[in-house]
Structure 1
Amino acid sequence: MMRNQLRDAVVVVTGASSGIGRATAHAFARAGATLVLAARREEALKDALQECERLGGCGIVVPTDVGEAEQVDRLCDTAVERYGRLDIWVNNAAVTLFGRLEETPRDAYEKVIQTNLLGCVNGARAAIRQFRDQGHGRLINVSSMVAHAGQPFTSAYVTSKWGIRGLSECLRMELADAPDIHVSTILPASIDTPLFQRAANYVGQSAKAMTPIYPPEKVAAAIVHAARYRMREHFVGNSGRLVAAIRTLAPPLGEKMMERKVNSDHFIQELPIEPGSGNLFDSRGDGAVHGGWIERGYGSPSGGRKGLALVLGLAVALPLALYACHRRA
C-alpha cells in the first residue's frame, strides 16, 4: 500500500459504533477503504457499516469488547482471514467516569482502565504481530490532550490516556527494527460526542464537554492523515496544544487553571443526577456521532466564549511562564 493511498486498505476501527470511531469509519469509507468495525453493540455497528457503504466503503462488523484479549485476538484473526492482510489498526474505544478517586467504586474505576488502556494494549499486541508477519502496517492510538495535562474528577480516564501515550512511545522504540511499521498517537481536545452523557458519574451533576468543543470529524480527519503519512503525535484542537504547553512550562499554574476550568465548565450545575455506572458494564446509546453540545450552544457562541477565554488566558500566561522560567535560570 502506498503511504498516501487508502483505497482498498484494510482498516480496523475499534469503538466504531458512535462518536469519534463512527466518524472515523465514515472518513475511511470516503477514501474507499475496506473496514472492519468493532464495538460492543452489534446493531449500532451494522448501522455504521451501512452508512460507510453509502459513502463508498465496504467491510464487516465484529462485535468486540476490547478489554477482553481473546475477543481482540478474534477480531484480528477475522480481519486477516477475510481479507488476507491488515494495513491499519485504530485503537479508539473508550469509556469514562466522573468522580473523586475515593468516592468511585473500584470495579467502575478498573473498567475504565481495562477498556481504554488494556483495550489499547490488546489491540496493539494483535496488530503488531500481524504487521511483523506481513512486514508493514500503521497503528494509530487515540489518546487525549489530558495525556499531557491531568484534570480533577476524571483520574481513571486521565490515567488511561497517559498510559496510551506512553505505550505508543515505547512501541515506536521497539519497532525501530521494522521501518515499515509506524505508530501514531492522536491527542484530541474536548470533542462533541456522546461520551459524556454515557459516562459513569459519581459527582451528582450531569457532565458535559468542556469548551472549546471540536467536532468529531476533525479527529477523524487527523486519524486518516496519520494513516496516510508517518507522524508521531498529533493534537486535535489548539486548546490541547496550549494546555500542554503551559502545563509543561509552569506545572502549578497549569494545574490551577485546569482545576478551575473543570469546576466551572465540565458539569451542568442545574442538572443533578443519581450516581451510576453509565455504559461501563452495559453498552447503551443510539450510535450517534455527535453529542449535541455544539448544537445546544455549549460550544458556540455562548459556550465558545468560555473556550475563547481559556485560549486567550493561556496565550497570555505562556510568555509569562517562559519569563518566569528564564528568571529562575
Structure 2
Amino acid sequence: MPEVVVITGGSRGIGRATALRFARRKGIRLALVARDETALAAAADACRARGAEVLTVSADLAAPDGPERAADAVVARFGRIDVWVASASVFSYGSVLDTPDEIVDRVIQTNLTGHMRAARAVLPHFHARGGGTLVFVGSLFSQIPGPYVAPYVAAKHGLLGFTRALRQEMLGHRGIHVRIVLPASIDTPIYERAANVTGRTPFPLPPVVSADRVARAVVRAARGGRAEVAVGAAQLVTRPLRFLAPRVFDRFIWTLQRTLGLRHRPAADTTGAVLAPMHDPGAVSGGWSRVPLRHPRSRRR
C-alpha cells in the first residue's frame, strides 16, 4: 500500500527539500501543508514531476483549527497518515524589549503550539491504524540560546522538550515513533523572510549547510534510527562550549550574532512572512551557501 507522508511547511526551505526527497519513492502520496497557496502549487508541481501523488492543504498551523483541519483533509483524501513531518517555521530578529507581542506570539504559535496541536490531531489516526511516525524539525537553538532571536529560541527549546515528553508517553504504544531533527544554520529563505526590528540586515550564522542535507536526515528519521539527530558542523563547537564554559559561550554567541548574524547594513523594520504569507513561488534555498558571509543579492544593491 502506498505510503502517505504529510509535510507541514512543505512550500519552501527544509519542508520543500524533504518533500522532493520523499517524492522520489515509488507510489508515494504526499500532502503538503502551508499558508502560501502560490508556493504550495509550485512545490506540488515539482513533486509531481518526480512521480508523486500530491495533495496541497492551505492551512495556518498557528490557527487553533489549522492542524486538525489539515489532518482531516489528508485522511479524507488518502485514507490514512503514515508519517507526519512537522517542519513549518517562522523566524524573527529583535531584542526582547523591541520585538512586538504579535510577532512573539506568532513565532511561538507556529514553531511550538502549532506542532503540539498537530501531534494531538494526528495521534488518533496513528492509534486507529496501529502505528505511524512523527518527525519534528527542531533547531540547534533547541539546545543552546542565542541573542536577538529569543522567541525562536523559546519555541525550539519547547519543541525539543515536548518531543521528549511525547516520546515517553508513546512507549506504551508499539508502532508509534516520535523523532526530532536538529539543524544548525541551513540555506533556506527563512532569514530574508524573517520579522526584523534590529535596524540591521540579518544573515545566517556560518557555517551554512544545504536544506537537502536536513531533508536526508528527516527521511532517515521517518524510516527509523536515532530519536534525535543533529545536522550541521556548528553543533560540534557550540553545544560542548555551552556546557563546559557557559560564560565564554555567552560572550562568543553574542559577538558572533552582532558581527556576522546582524550586519551594520541598515534595514527597515518588517514583519516579514511571520504574520502573513508573501505569496511567491517559494524555493528550497535562500542562496546563502553560495557566498557564506555575504548574501548574493547584496552584491546587486
Q: Decide: shared fold, TM above 0.5.
A: yes
Matched, 1:47 2:29: no
2:212 corresponds to which residue?
A: 217
Whichever structure has more helix as a proportion of its residues is: 1
Matched, 1:75 2:70: yes
1:12-91 residue pairs with structure 2 within 5 A? 12-32=6-26, 33-91=28-86
% identical equivalent positions: 37
**TM, length-normalised to structure 2:** 0.94
1:135 corresponds to which residue?
A: 130
In the alignment, the residues of structure 2 paired with residue 286 and residue 298 of structure 1 have an alpha-carbon distance, to the nearest angstrom, of: 26
Quick one: structure 1 residues 297 and 152, their matched pair in 2 at CA, closer, same or farther if it must change by over 3 Å?
closer
1:186 corresponds to which residue?
A: 181
Q: CA deviation at 1:125?
A: 1.0
Matched, 1:274 2:261: no
Q: CA deviation at 1:230?
A: 3.5
Q: CA deviation at 1:9?
A: 1.1
Q: CA deviation at 1:281?
A: 1.4
- 1:279 maps to a residue whose letter is A
In the alignment, the residues of structure 2 paired with residue 239 and residue 280 of structure 1 have an alpha-carbon distance, to the nearest angstrom, of: 26
- 1:11 maps to a residue whose letter is V
- 1:120 maps to a residue whose letter is H
* SS of alignment partner, residue 184 of structure 1: strand
In the alignment, the residues of structure 2 paired with residue 191 and residue 94 of structure 1 have an alpha-carbon distance, to the nearest angstrom, of: 13
- 2:33 maps to a residue whose letter is A
1:164 to 151, 159, 167: 159
1:151 corresponds to which residue?
A: 146
Q: CA deviation at 1:241?
A: 3.6
* TM-superposition CA deviations, 1:136-164 (whole Å, max 9, x none): 00000101001111000000000000011
Q: CA deviation at 1:297?
A: 4.3
Q: CA deviation at 1:248?
A: 2.0
Task: Report if the CA contact (8 A) 1:95-1:115 is conserved.
Answer: yes
In the alignment, the residues of structure 1 paired with residue 240 and residue 51 of structure 2 have an alpha-carbon distance, to the nearest angstrom, of: 40
* SS of alignment partner, residue 89 of structure 1: strand
Matched, 1:251 2:243: no
2:113 corresponds to which residue?
A: 118
Aligned-pair Cα RMSD in Å: 1.5
Larger Rg: 1
In the alignment, the residues of structure 2 paired with residue 238 and residue 13 of structure 1 have an alpha-carbon distance, to the nearest angstrom, of: 25
5+ residue gaps, structure 1: 2-7, 301-329
- 1:26 maps to a residue whose letter is L
5+ residue gaps, structure 2: 296-301
In the alignment, the residues of structure 2 paired with residue 280 and residue 226 of structure 1 have an alpha-carbon distance, to the nearest angstrom, of: 28
In the alignment, the residues of structure 2 paired with residue 297 and residue 132 of structure 1 have an alpha-carbon distance, to the nearest angstrom, of: 45
1:283 to 262, 272, 277: 277
* TM-superposition CA deviations, 1:278-318 (whole Å, max 9, x none): 11112114401101112234389xxxxxxxxxxxxxxxxxx
1:291-302 residue pairs with structure 2 within 5 A? 291-298=286-293
**4+ residue runs of structure 1 moved beyond 6 angstroms?**
none
- 2:7 maps to a residue whose letter is V
Task: Report if the CA contact (8 A) 1:92-1:142 is conserved.
Answer: yes
- 1:23 maps to a residue whose letter is A
* SS of alignment partner, residue 65 of structure 2: helix
In the alignment, the residues of structure 2 paired with residue 229 and residue 89 of structure 1 have an alpha-carbon distance, to the nearest angstrom, of: 14
- 1:253 maps to a residue whose letter is V
- 1:19 maps to a residue whose letter is G
Q: CA deviation at 1:134?
A: 1.2
In the alignment, the residues of structure 2 paired with residue 211 and residue 247 of structure 1 have an alpha-carbon distance, to the nearest angstrom, of: 17
1:308 corresponds to which residue?
A: none
Quick one: structure 1 residues 234 and 257, their matched pair in 2 at CA, closer, same or farther if it must change by over 3 Å?
same
* TM-superposition CA deviations, 1:40-93 (whole Å, max 9, x none): 011211111110011121121000100113121111011112111110001110
Structure with the bigger RCO (C-alpha within 8 Å, sep 6+) is 2
